[in-house]
Amino acid sequence: MVKVLTSPSRYVQGKNVLAEIGKYVKPLGDKALVVISKGGYSRNGQMVEKSFQEAGIEAVFEFFAGESSRDEVERLQKIVQEKGLNVSVGIGGGKALDTAKTVAHFESLPVAVCPTSAATDAPCTSFSVMYTEDGEFDEYVFFDRTSDLILMDTQVVANAPKRLFVAGMGDALATMFEARASVASGAKNLVGGLSTRAALGLTELCYEILMEEGRKALQAVEAGVLTEAVDQVIEASTYLSGVGAESSGLAAAHAVHNGMTALEETHDYLHGEKVAFGVITQLVLENAPQEELDEVLDFCMDIGLPVTLAELGVKEPDEAGLRNVAELAVAEGDTGHNEPFAVDADMYYAAIVAADKIGTDARAKRNA
């Protein structure tokens, strides 16, 4: 099997780089679809519009409807076709970026993504996650290339709500563990090849930065300042996690996340928050060493990530609901099978229930 590593064509990270977006987008096109939320436009719209004007780019701003769904993508495709736009730009969170990327894919356009938080590693992946209009996981849409430009404004990210910063660390927390499982199982990565050693190394560096810098970075964000620790965690949560995950593979943690979207109680919780619980579930499924499990639990509790189902809104979990989550985790085509041993829904159900108990006991011990 051929080994494949994929990454964005250009990754730009720094303070106040969003104010220069026009300069970076101009080589890609001069008639831009700009997917942005109403809130994002109120915060950054004038600055972005000015930069586009200075660069000679005609920008059509479209407010993101809230879900990266097929309906939303098709709505934006029609605008691209009607106005003859030649580049897709996403500004905002993971779902807005996935939507801009998917529009670019189906319309064969270059794409630039500008995250306003470090809540997920979506910017650096060559696929998008599609949801239904009700917020349930629908499907992955895979592209033939990654984004042409990632523009990561560290000041904007540091100013975003703390919860988003923490959720990004939750998503990135899974990267090394899922890569390890995928490589051990011989599973294909998300671009159809095997992992390179370089890609696996990125996932290991991602985890090292989270453990070393994550707590310090959160304290800086809480204090309202941008520090070197924040800068490193942004890179880990975005570039290292995104490229590492895509080029090494996903496994149980994201499969559990996908299954949990079927529980209505979890719909108000962020991707990375659900993935963090998925990491704990994966470690239980793999019967990981206690020391490793404790390190993950301590980190999650230190920075405010969920370690129990109750902390994800599932106050009274019932067996039927959790078994449905488990069935979805091992659905055909999902990543739940990328473990170094055969798995089934019963094993996932047991791991979810045990992870919840382990997390509940760990939380109670800390609060005692």
- Tokens found for residue 54: 């200075």
DSSP, residue by residue, 278-337: HHHHHHHHTT--HHHHHHHHHHHHHHT---SSGGGT-SS--HHHHHHHHHHHTSTTSGGG
With contact defined as beta carbons under 8 Å apart, do 220 and 227 qualify? yes
With contact defined as beta carbons under 8 Å apart, do 72 and 138 qualify? no
Determine whether 289 is exposed, middle or buried from the number of CB atoms within 10 Å of its CB (0-12, 13-18, 19+).
exposed
Q: Which of 83, 65, 222 is nearest to 158 (CA)?
A: 222
- Where b means 16+ CB within 10 Å and e means fewer, 170-203 reads bbbbbbbbbbbbbbebebbbbbebbbeeebbebb
Q: Which of 146, 159, 44 is nearest to 91 (CA)?
A: 44
With contact defined as beta carbons under 8 Å apart, do 280 and 209 qualify? no
With contact defined as beta carbons under 8 Å apart, do 133 and 71 qualify? yes
Q: 315: how many CB neighbours lie within 10 A of its CB? A: 10
Task: Give the SS3 label for residue 357.
Answer: helix
- Tokens found for residue 368: 């005692």
Active site residues: 171, 254, 257, 271
